[in-house]
Structure 1
Amino acid sequence: MSETGIPRGFRPLLALRLALREMRGGLRGFYIFLACIALGTAAIAGVNSLSQSISGSIAAEGQKLLAADIRFELDNRVATPEERAFLDGLGHISVSAGLRSMSRLPDGSNQALVELKAVDGAYPLYGKLESEPERPISELLARKGDVYGAIAAPLLLERLGVSPGAELLIGKARVRVNATIAREPDAVSDGFGFAPRLMISSEALAASGLVQTGSLVEHIYKIRLADPAEVAAFRNEAQRRFPSAGWSIRTSGNAAPSLTANITRFSQFLTLVGLTALIVGGVGVGNAVRSYLDGKRSVIATFKCLGAPASLVATVYLTQILMIASIGIAVGLVLGALIPFVAAQFLADVLPVSTSFELYPSALALAALFGLLTAIAFAILPLGRARKVPATALFRQQGFEPSGLPAWPYLIGALVCLSALAGLAVWTAYDRYISLIFLGAVAFSFIVLRAVALLIAWLARRSPRVHSPALRLAIGNIHRPGALTPSVVLSLGLGLALLVTLALIDGNLRRELTGNMAERAPNFFFIDIQSSEIDGFRSVLRQAMPKGKIVEVPMLRGRIVQLNGEDVNRRSVPPGGQWVLRGDRGITYARNRPENSTLTEGAWWPADYDGEPLVSFSAEEAGELGLKLGDTVTVNVLGRNVTARIANFRQVQWESLAINFVMVFSPNTFAGAPHAWLATIIDPQATAAEEAAVLKGVTNAYPTITSVRVKDALDIVNSLLGQLATAIRAAAAVALIASVLVLAGALAAGNRARIHDAVVLKTLGATRGTLIRAFSYEYAILGLATALFALFAGGVSAWFVVSRIMTLPSSFLPDVAVTTIAFALLVTVGMGLAGTWRVLGQKAAPVLREL
């Protein structure tokens, strides 16, 4: 038996009964609590559900997205007779080719870059090509006389200023656009293209003359198996029988690996933003619990007067908090479950996402766990302080304010929950290193924000005496016991800092792409220049752009297959270096060190070197791959494995957009190997007319050379960046909304003290106008201080990301600073006055009786 006369084994039931009775009055005081938990939970549930929806659709629709059960890709060469015989024996085969080329009008008046896709009569093996008008592919691509049929993306016709039925020149072939592409079944698996699609037949590609020695062509062999379940066995057999083929093999179970990886990375980022919202909301949970328990002081005191131990009091209110948190989590899960369905209506045309409503239990369970841990972690400490309320508080409302730290079990409980929250974030992350950095940054931000709040209070305490009563009262409110300073700075600071960081990163990237980078970058890249064309090509460039600087290098394509004799597929590589091993890379050879790179380690080979094959590797990528001087790199080029030893590392300026390669080999490595040339022309002062002359002159004189105008590519990247930034800002807005909710909760939690202050001051003769000015000054000072912190913290974070991770120039943007300060002042002053307006109308007598 306990001191209450209730057996200890029944105390949880008693706590539950008391908790339910108290909740009969509704959830007043917990609306901010509910909103914070629901918002963060919904963000995490929605992002992970959408990610699983896209990944699941890719897996479920793998055959249609790949247009095959298994896909073999060879770059710059066709399959040998032995390889082709093996592929033919696997099942029904469809052969296609992909490359970039120039399309032009027959009169030479206009031209445009295209992503050319040549298909045979068996395409597609799965899925359906939708066109406008809807006709069989064989009919749309059929040859009539000397003109071949073609199907084009609507964007291509728009750029050339023509309509369906128009004739175009592709290399040496003439094609007629018989339809436009409405949906291409394997577009996602083919990857992102910088130019609109033009689809022709394999016969048209052969007639175009585009496929020459060294041309950058992807030869793709797609196979429909009699038994798709044997796909893994066939893949292993292909690798065993042809270890040096150098082909990239993809199955329907992994139809779009780059898209899947990017979706996973992006969802991790958005999950971390959602976790930020949840953690910021956790501060709101703590404020709401503290405010609620503060209003229950008389009830707690009554419990203690009747003999209830502190542990029973804590259990009663913990039960209430868990029940209310469950409601908030449930609301968040419902909203999160709806997000994929809503997003699918906008993404269905660009991503493989299901448009039917589906639930993703693992994503919802993860979000629920995050929400529950957050609620408990931030509610425990206020509970620990509430148990200190003495029985005498029943008789004197203003006589006791819990102070100091709670008892050690509550501190340990909060620490365990926070540790579990951090561990869960790291365990579920795609890149755990980034997740650890994020958690460290959040913890550091909390510490710094607390220090900022203490600094503001310290400065207010030591500020000189001012003559204005309202300003003097505002300064006193900032540093007095129970001031709102810590809550306001903490709640708004983290959300604003995140928003400033993202805004500065976006602004710097846009400025670099549209300004500095565009000015430094070459005007054009030229691909697939044959050795027999190089002299005449130079003449055309010099005539069209006399002051342009021409740079030309030999270029081959190769895939890294081994590092130090180890198969790269069995090597664990950090995410930052995986792109080097994914697919074919452009490679070159050179006698002298490239002028736009600097040696960081090792030495360059002599100009007449003729020994063991050597390679110069990009220093940053080598670090990601764990390579050192003397290691060996094996690349597959044109079906042959070539092994070279690393002689030196180079610091490559990728942001210059000049000709750069991860690997530069010694000239003897590829002696006699067939290859084409890559060239650029640079003239920052070139006019639009000169650039048009270059494009027209090269395309008309050498139709098989592909010309890429760098400014057009940058415009496409900038457009994609804008779409990405919109999604990121929307996610960051969730964290900012959570901050505003927390701020509202903090203001509500301080209303009792505000009522007491307002009544006393009005009794002493203060007018409502004086109090309004005082509160306005206080909130303005806190908002300005918080904005300054956000600008500093966000500026440092953005500088680190842009200059250290992206290796781009970074600068502070004044418009972001002005917007941030204005927003912070608007939110703090506006919400502060809205929250305290009711306080100013309180009658004095009821409050004075409790003093």
Structure 2
Amino acid sequence: MRGGVRGFVIFLLCLTLGVASIAAVNSVSEMMTSGIEREGRTILGGDMRFGLNGREASEAEKSFLARFGTLAETANLRSMARLPDGTNQTLSEVKAVDGQYPLYGAAQTDPAAPLGDLLAERNGRFGAVAAPEFFDRLGIEPGATVLLGGIEVELRGRLTREPDVLSDGFIFAPRLLISGEALRASGLIQPGSLVEYDYKLRFTDPALDPAGVEAQAKADFPQAGWSIRDAREAAPSLQRSIDRFSQFLTLVGLTALIVGGVGIANAVSAYLDGKRTVIATFKSLGSGGGFVVWIYLIQIGLLASLGILAGLVLGALAPFAAAGFLEAYIPVSTHPSVYPGALLLATAFGYLTAFAFAILPLGRTRDIAATALFRSNEGPGALRTRLSYALAAGALALGIAGLAFVMAGDKRIASVFLVATAVAFVVLRLVSVAIRTLAARLPRVRSTPLRLAIGNIHRPGALTHSVVLSLGLGLTLLVTLATIDNALRREIGTSIAARAPNFFFVDIQSAEIDPFRGRIAELAPGSSLDAVPMLRGRIVKLNGTDVSQLQVPPEGAWVLRGDRGVTYAAAPPENTTVTQGQWWAADYAGEPLVSFSAKEGGELGLKLGDTISVNVLGREITARIANFRAVEWESMSINFVMVFSPNTFAGAPHAWLATLQMPNATGEGERAVLRGISNSFPAVTTVRVKDALDAVNALVAQLALAIRAAAAVALVSSVLVLSGALAAGNRTRVHDAVVLKTLGATRGTLIRAYVTEYMTLGAATALFAIGAGALAAWYVLARVMRLPFAFDGGVALGVLAAALVLTVGFGLAGTWRVLGQKAAPVLREL
């Protein structure tokens, strides 16, 4: 150790990078999670939140809730806001609040003023505040007026901070905040309107148990259809996203650490090879193999501690560096700190990886005799490993896999990752063996540089295995992520845009559906309008069992979360095919029946004849599954998970949902439809699909940035391992170069030989990475995301170029120094 860490730089960098990435990801995740928990009441808007879709709470229900403390009422819906002259309009997320809002936190506005004053009615006109984006879309400033439904509202300020915005889920359009009185006066609330009413409680008694309140609410109002949350789950969708993304980035960080493990093995092998005379001296003086192993095992443990400590420092600093950036996108006070759990996890992964990859070269050192060490020029890597050391390495590898599996939130994804990593190591080993075998069997060529290059690929101690393994893993991950990213962008930006309708229309009243069709025919002749009735309902029971008591696979759980759009139909909808069971007759009048999406039904374990209970408008309806149907969600036409027989909702108030397809539509044509419908039917919500796709593209771009950063970490690990492998082979290269130069080889001949060798290895590795990465991307896209897969030639060429530049560049950087060695000192040591 007094000799310094020369020879272990790659070892330390690989450990530091891998440990730092795992520690940073989990520390930032814990920071965000603790921030959500700490501000749970502010994010939720109360100690408890009771949500109802499509209906207001009854007076009895409100009186029940008011018994526990202060009650605040809000209503959320989407609606069009229009300029008074009808020249411009925008979709907005309307939120109506009462005088108690907010119960926790504060709404910040510009100019700063009490919220009640800004929203109050003055001179027959209600006030409003809106998000800055609202003003940008309409090109107006505070003080302007807009039409909302059937009233004019005066915009009296910008809404700069909304304390409970995270608990409202995904906000698609800019916020427009008004009073409850203004919403009632606007005429936007009609039978069947898609509006969510939230009743937020601030407990009089802080010690009150939310679970007890929830149980009593369900017991006293079993048909209410409450969606109940307390401050412990203030923003469940955000928390799920954080957990999933954290798991994904942790697995990518673990990939970087495992790739770095190859560099650890190379560094240990090269170091022990350089210590041949020292080990020989130990053994000549009578020390056993175990004594030698323990010496270097302790040294490697100490060096590993240095690398892990450096990684932990970087990981611990990550929350402090990321806090300001995250607060700009997620309105949660982060309060960064040091998170021992995240650091402990990274430490465990670091030590397990270091020893798992170091134990094999250490084990080979044990059985080398002193005479072999003094005479051999091949080093310890030429011997077989004892079974006990191989078993120890296997046990450590299982420890890494077990820890990754236990810490994963989604066990299925963790299992796929672990299996894929193991298969990648085996396949890359086979690829390197195949390359060496092929090189050995090639016929003798006349070109001296080419003959030397081929010999370097298959000779004992060749770099083939190290280069293929280190570069192959990183490039495979890069190809996989780049292909998935390109496919998502292509699907959203091109394929979906080409298939999608131009507009979605929501909240069309039953009495207005015929006039609406007529107005569309005037505004967009030759277009295609598809309209269906729609209600909102939440699945509350499957086969009589409350869904909260069911263990549901993660891939199907989304169906049971929150409210779903439901419809009824006498005939199967377009773009669907009945796969099991029979559709009901057009005049069916028996027990309620439902058609369920086959894919989602299979994920929930449903079968024909099972029952589903859905709460719609405060009424629980139980229907029997009559058939399953294959739904083409990618068609972007109107589709539902559940389609009921028409008699199920006989007499229930509902609105209509419609889509408009405009062949060869121009931007001006779309704007004309938008203006015409907004002015003629102010209560109808119009969603321009292009705007929705732009919002999704922006979100995907942000996610892709994080994914590319994670992939870059793994690629940097591969580069470090590659440089270490090439450096470790330089000792042998020195002897080869000196002997060849002594026999008459020129520097140019040797350079051409090495360039040919490096290009061959780089190209072979890149070809494997392209194939393996494309296969992995196909699995994710076709089997997990259910998206079409297309091979991207640009990605392939980029990976091929990167492989050649890296191998040739790093190879020549080390080789240039080798070629400059003087012959005499080297020849004396042979």
Task: Identify the residue that residue 80 of structure 2 maps to in structure 1.
Answer: 102
Deviates more, 1:427-436 or 1:677-686: 677-686
The match for 1:766 is: 745
**Any conservation in 2 of the 1:38–1:332 contact (CA below 8 Å)?**
yes
Letter in 2 for 1:708: V
- State the AA in 2 paired with 1:171: G
Verify the 8 A CA contact 2:537 2:617 in the aligned structure 1: yes
Shift of 1:355: 4.5
**d(CA) in 2 for partners of 1:303, 1:474:** 38
* 1:163 counterpart SS class: coil
- Which region of structure 1 is more displaced relative to structure 2, 462-471 or 75-84? 462-471
> Is the Cα contact below 8 Å between 1:62 and 1:255 reproduced in 2?
yes
Going from structure 1 to structure 2, the CA distance change for 1:295 and 1:177 (only over 3 Å counts) comes to: same
Partner SS for 1:599 = strand
The one-letter amino acid of 2:432's match is A
* In the alignment, structure 1 residue 669 sits paired with structure 2 residue 648: yes
Q: Does 1:329 align with 2:308?
A: yes
Q: 1:714 aligns with which of 673, 693, 696?
A: 693
Counterpart position of 1:416: 395
Higher mean displacement: 59-68 or 303-312: 59-68
Contact (CA 8 Å) 1:747, 1:835: kept in 2 or not?
A: yes
What whole-Å deviation, never above 9, does each CA across 1:178-204 have from its counterpart, x for those lacking one? 111111101111111111111011111
The yes-or-no answer on 1:293 pairing with 2:264 is: no
Counterpart Cα distance in 2 of 1:237 and 1:453: 66
Q: Which amino acid aligns with 2:205?
A: D
| Aligned equivalents of 1:580, 1:317: Cα separation in 2 | 56
* Residue matched to 2:351: 372
Percentage identity across paired residues of the two chains: 62
Aligned-pair CA distance for 1:400: 5.6
The separation in 1 between residues aligned to 2:293 and 2:433, in whole angstroms, is 30
Aligned length: 829
Measure the CA separation in 1 of the matches of 2:505 and 2:262.
Answer: 56
**What SS does structure 1 have at the residue aligned with 2:637?**
coil
Tell me, in whole angstroms, the C-alpha distance in 2 between the residues paired with 1:697 and 1:34. Answer: 66
**Structure 2 CA distance, aligned partners of 1:29 and 1:233?**
63
The equivalent residue for 1:600 is 579
Distance change (3 Å), C-alpha of 1:353 and 1:334? farther
Aligned to 2:40: 62
Match of 2:660 among 681, 684, 704: 681
- What secondary structure sits across from 1:269 in the alignment? helix
Q: Pick from 7, 17, 20: which aligns with 1:29?
A: 7
Q: In structure 2, what is the equivalent of residue 155 of structure 1?
A: 133
- Contact 1:297–1:389 (CA<8 Å) still a contact in 2? no
- Unpaired runs of 5+ residues, structure 1, are 1-22
Give the C-alpha shift of residue 397 in structure 1.
Answer: 5.0
Deviation at 1:661, TM superposition (A): 0.5
Tell whether 2:547 aligns with 1:541: no
Aligned residues of 2:273 and 2:379 also touching (Cα < 8 A):
no
AA aligned opposite 1:57: G
Indicate conservation of the 8 Å contact 1:493/1:786, yes or no.
Answer: yes
State the shift of 1:389 in Å: 2.2
Task: State how far apart, in whole Å, the 2-side matches of 1:236 and 1:46 are.
Answer: 40
Paired residue for 1:197, among 161, 175, 182?
175
**Corresponding residue of 1:7:** none
Amino acid at match of 1:48: N
Counting only pairs closer than 5 Å after superposition, residues 456-471 of structure 1 correspond to structure 2 as: 456-471=435-450
| CA distance in 1 between partners of 2:368 and 2:739 (Å) | 25
Alignment of 1:105-144 (within 5 A): 105-144=83-122
User: Cα offset for 1:451?
Assistant: 1.2
Query: Which of these residues, 794, 805, 816, is aligned with residue 826 of structure 1?
Result: 805
Counterpart position of 1:391: 370
Corresponding position of 1:791: 770
Deviations 1:636-695 (A, max 9, x none): 000011001111111111122211101001111111111000011112322222211111
Which deviates the most, 419-428 or 593-602?
A: 593-602
Q: Distance in 2 between matches of 1:684 and 1:787?
A: 44
1:207 counterpart residue number: 185
Distance in structure 2 (CA, Å) of the matches to 1:511 and 1:733: 22
Paired AA for residue 95 in structure 2: K
Show the counterpart of 1:12.
none
Which amino acid in the other structure matches residue 26 of structure 1?
A: G
Match of 1:550 among 506, 529, 549: 529
Opposite residue 128 of structure 1, the aligned amino acid is A
CA-CA distance at 1:228 after TM superposition: 3.0
Mapped to 2, the partners of 1:75 and 1:536 lie a distance apart of 27
CA distance in 1, matches of 2:242, 2:140: 36
Give the equivalent residue in structure 2 for 1:359: 338
2:567 aligned partner: 588
Q: In the aligned structure 1, how far is the partner of 2:123 from the partner of 2:599?
A: 54
CA distance in 1: counterparts of 2:473 and 2:378, whole angstroms:
34
2:215 aligned to which of 225, 236, 246: 236
**For residues 135 and 286 of structure 1, what CA distance do their matches in structure 2 show?**
65
| Aligned match for 2:481, one of 454, 477, 502 | 502
Match of 1:263 among 233, 239, 242: 242
Structure 1 residue 464: Cα displacement: 3.5
Distance 1:399 1:666 in 2: 78
Looking at structure 2, the residues matched to 679 and 351 of structure 1 have their Cα atoms a distance apart, in angstroms, of 33
Report the alpha carbon displacement of residue 352 of structure 1 after superposing the two structures with TM. 4.9
Alpha-carbon displacement from aligned partner over 1:405-425 (angstroms, at most 9, x marks no partner): 311110110011001110110
Amino acid at match of 2:133: L
The alpha carbon displacement at 1:354 in A equals 4.7
1:780 maps to which residue? Answer: 759
Q: 2 CA distance for matches of 1:85 and 1:394?
A: 88
For 2:631, the equivalent position in structure 1 comes to: 652
Quick check: 1:525 aligned with 2:504? yes
Asked if structure 2 preserves the Cα contact closer than 8 Å seen for 1:72 and 1:220, the reply is yes
Report the equivalent of 2:57: 79
Report the Cα distance in structure 1 between the residues aligned to 2:276 and 2:128, rounded to whole angstroms: 79
Instruction: Spell out the pairing of 1:552-567 with structure 2 (5 A cutoff).
Output: 552-567=531-546
SS in 1 for 2:683: coil
CA positional deviation for 1:53: 0.8
- Pair 850,226 (structure 1): closer, same or farther in 2 beyond 3 Å: same
Partner of 1:248: 227
Q: Which residue of 2 aligns with 1:19?
A: none
Classify the secondary structure of the residue corresponding to 1:122.
coil
Query: Using a 3 Å threshold, how does the CA distance of structure 1 residues 821 and 702 change in structure 2: closer, same or farther?
Result: same
Alpha-carbon distance, 1:526 to partner: 0.4
Whether the 8 Å contact between 1:393 and 1:400 is mirrored in structure 2 is no
Q: What is the aligned partner in structure 2 of residue 9 from structure 1? A: none
User: What secondary structure does 1:794 align onto?
Assistant: helix
Secondary structure in 1 matching 2:2: helix
Q: CA deviation at 1:247?
A: 1.1
Change in Cα spacing, 1:807 to 1:719, as seen in structure 2 (3 Å) is: same
Give the match for residue 756 of structure 1.
735
- Write the distance in 1 (CA, Å) between the matches of 2:384 and 2:638: 62
How far did residue 404 of structure 1 move?
4.2
Residue aligning to 1:184: 162
Gaps of 5+ in 2: none
Q: Paired residue for 2:607? A: 628
- TM-score with structure 2 length normalisation? 0.99
- Tell me which of 763, 769, 779 is aligned to 1:800: 779
Aligned twin of 2:416: 437
The whole-number CA distance in structure 2 between the counterparts of 1:26 and 1:241 is: 74
Match of 1:277 in 2: 256
Structure 2 counterpart of 1:217, from 184, 195, 199:
195
How far apart are residue 733 of structure 1 and its match? Answer: 0.7
* Alignment-derived partner of residue 739 in structure 1: 718
> For the Cα contact (< 8 Å) 2:361–2:381, is it kept in 1?
no
Specify the SS of the correspondent of 2:74: strand
Counterparts of residues 28-47 of structure 1 (less than 5 Å): 28-47=6-25
Structure 1 match to 2:322:
343
* Greater Cα offset, 230-239 or 164-173: 230-239
CA–CA distance in 1 between the matches of 2:207 and 2:757? 70
Contact 1:57 1:352 in 2 (8 A): no
How well do the aligned residues superpose, as a CA RMSD in angstroms? 1.2
Aligned-pair CA distance for 1:497: 0.8
Q: 1:311 and 1:422 mapped to 2: Cα distance?
A: 28
In structure 1, what is the equivalent of residue 433 of structure 2? 454
Task: Return 437-446 or 402-411, whichever deviates more.
Answer: 402-411
> SS state of the match for residue 791, structure 2?
coil
Q: How far apart are residue 403 of structure 1 and its match?
A: 2.7
